Amino acid sequence: MCGIAGIYKLEKDQEVSKEVLKRMADTIAYRGPDGDGYFVDTFVGLAHRRLSIIDLEGGDQPMFNSRGDISIVYNGEIYNYVELKQELKQLGHSFRTTSDTEVIIKAYEQWGFACQEKFNGMWAFAIWDARAQHLFLSRDRLGEKPLNYMRYRNTFLFGSEIKSILAYTGHVAPDTEMNELYMFLGYIPSPNTFYKSIKKLSAGKYLVVKDGKVKEYTYWDLPKITENDLLKDDKKVTKELSELLYDSVRIRMRSDVPYGAFLSGGLDSSCIVSTMSEISSFPVKTFTIGFKEKAFDERDNARIIANRFNTEHHEEIVDKSSLESSVQKVLHHFDEPFADPAAIPTSYLAQSARKHVKMVLTGDGGDEVFAGYSNYQSELFAKNYQNRLPGFLKGSMPILVNALAKILTGNARYRLNRIKRVLESFNVPFDERLISKFVKIPPREMKKLLNKQAYPIDEFIASTLDDCSLKDPFYRLNYFNLKVSLPDQMLVKVDKISMASSLETRAPLLDYRIVELMYQVDKSIKMPTYKDEGVKHALKTVMTNKLPTEIINRRKQGFEVPLREWFKDGEFENMLNSSFASTGLNGPMIKTLIAENNKGQFDHGTLLWRILLLQKWMSKSTD
């Protein structure tokens, strides 16, 4: 796990400066505090910051093949490197190190660009092939490791983080056309960034830079299937999932340094700790974060698992005193507005774990892979609502719920407001319903908040879902989560925050074999009923008799932050200054949102957090 950066002069008569290359790498030193390395071949330069996990002595980078004409810088882990190494040895290759980096080089020598299809892991790498005179950049299938790039004044630049590119270019103007996507989603989806001309390489894709041209290709995608192809044999799916889960955890436990696991007490992280305990001959080190606000605290459930598997358990507490420092940390490490509030507790969790280990396994991706979000339940319920409820009730139900909400206060009012939004969404097409899931105010109100012309959210959704071959809204939601919210929100959050603490995270549930299997499973197996017991049915079946029943049957609780409560005491208003011009947002409307949140009329905590980060970032980026 590391950080990489590089320069390719598209006009080959120019030379790369090692000093500039080092400056680019130094901006991400926290990603690799164990060492650095540089390579310059006239018009090409590669830089690397190392966090050593495998082959502590022999894994330094850049690394070269035996002839010295292929070089690589690499961020990530190839978990099946042991098996690939044996295959390559049988094909006549010899090895000087025990690192997975050398396996990538040999695999590239053997299979060329097709080597990507051989890897089971997470990665972002750059290979300079002096023989072919091309630069080859690749990102893993699900997007666990980031890779940003830019064409700037006849120079191609790349880096694990945008700040490495900015170390070369200096100021790059914000792309305010991204405002609408950001305000609806809370992040900027690939291949876009909030900077003009800087791009993210999307998951499952690679670039080839040669002869002044930059070309993008796809080497992996979700299976192209129709509803008729979906798997409906419950026992067969469960058996295959059980085998894949065990193997996925096993190969991700390969490490030359101490490691542990993030543990929330939910099904996903609990199943990882259970499987690790089954494999390990030593107690697993587990790490949990909690809140003083009981409704958001999961420590009791985490302790159930810690006690069950006799783990070496550690806990930390987050409170609102961390709000200002959290804003500054998010702005620095994410390089662009990123408003998933779970970044706050994740940061504390990573810092806590790093005191004891250099690597952890996590339950990340479980909700996307196994359809665990409440949105999937609502899609199943929506079908019954639309097919069985009389027309006059469909229109009147949201009105009745809204009337009841207005006479209540506190959590009851928040719940009824949410129910009203859900009921209203049942009466519109799926694309519109999906948009309404992103925010807690009506989409038309969100549009009013945006003063400037922007890339419309509905255009983005239509374009994304265009590539989905499945027609049922349940599957289209799954497609969107796997293609957009997983790589551009969940995995960005985990990578940026963990690497800020020089901690590597590994996600067994995102093994591409598990993802491909579950994507092809019929919803009758994924979620046989929209009630809580039906959620993540396949994973629950696998873990029956392995996990306590109270964890198996526990209602899902997201990794949430009590923003609405933290902001009610006026601290939010103090942090949000009076000028909204730089954000391109409607100032008077923002003041209304703050007032409604403070009075407890609506839960605007998440939306206000997005506004705060956008304003702070815009102020910083236009200084």
Active site residues: 2
3-class DSSP string for 227-275: HHHCECCHHHHHHHHHHHHHHHHHHHCCCCCCEEEECCCCHHHHHHHHH
Phi, psi (deg, nearest 5) at residue 174:
-65, 150
Q: Are 611 and 584 in contact (CB under 8 A)?
A: no
Give dist(CA 64, CA 72) in Å, integer: 7
Tokens of 570: 């006026």
Q: Are 602 and 440 in contact (CB under 8 A)?
A: yes
DSSP, collapsed to helix, strand or coil, labels residue 111 as helix
CB within 8 Å of 539: residues ≥ 6 apart: 241, 267, 268, 271, 366, 370
Crossing angle of helices 374-388 and 410-425, rounded to 10°:
60
Q: Are 524 and 261 in contact (CB under 8 A)?
A: no
Phi, psi (deg, nearest 5) at residue 140:
-65, 165
Q: Provide DSSP, 352-380.
A: HHHTT-SEEE--TTHHHHTT-SHHHHHHH
CA 203 to centroid of chain Cα atoms:
11
Distances (CA, A) of 257 to 51, 347, 491, 607: 11, 21, 23, 40
Instruction: Tell which residue, 214, 137, 259, 168, has the closest CA to residue 503.
Output: 259
Q: Are 483 and 185 in contact (CB under 8 A)?
A: no
Phi, psi (deg, nearest 5) at residue 277:
-65, -30
Give dist(CA 69, CA 59) in Å, integer: 18
Tokens of 125: 């790498």
CB within 8 Å of 599: residues ≥ 6 apart: none
Instruction: Tell which residue, 289, 268, 351, 279, has the closest CA to residue 309.
Output: 279
Name residue 70's beta-bridge partners: 129
Q: Are 292 and 299 in contact (CB under 8 A)?
A: no
CB within 8 Å of 91: residues ≥ 6 apart: 110
DSSP, collapsed to helix, strand or coil, labels residue 123 as strand
Q: Are 609 and 563 in contact (CB under 8 A)?
A: yes
Q: Are 162 and 152 in contact (CB under 8 A)?
A: no
Tokens of 234: 């419950």
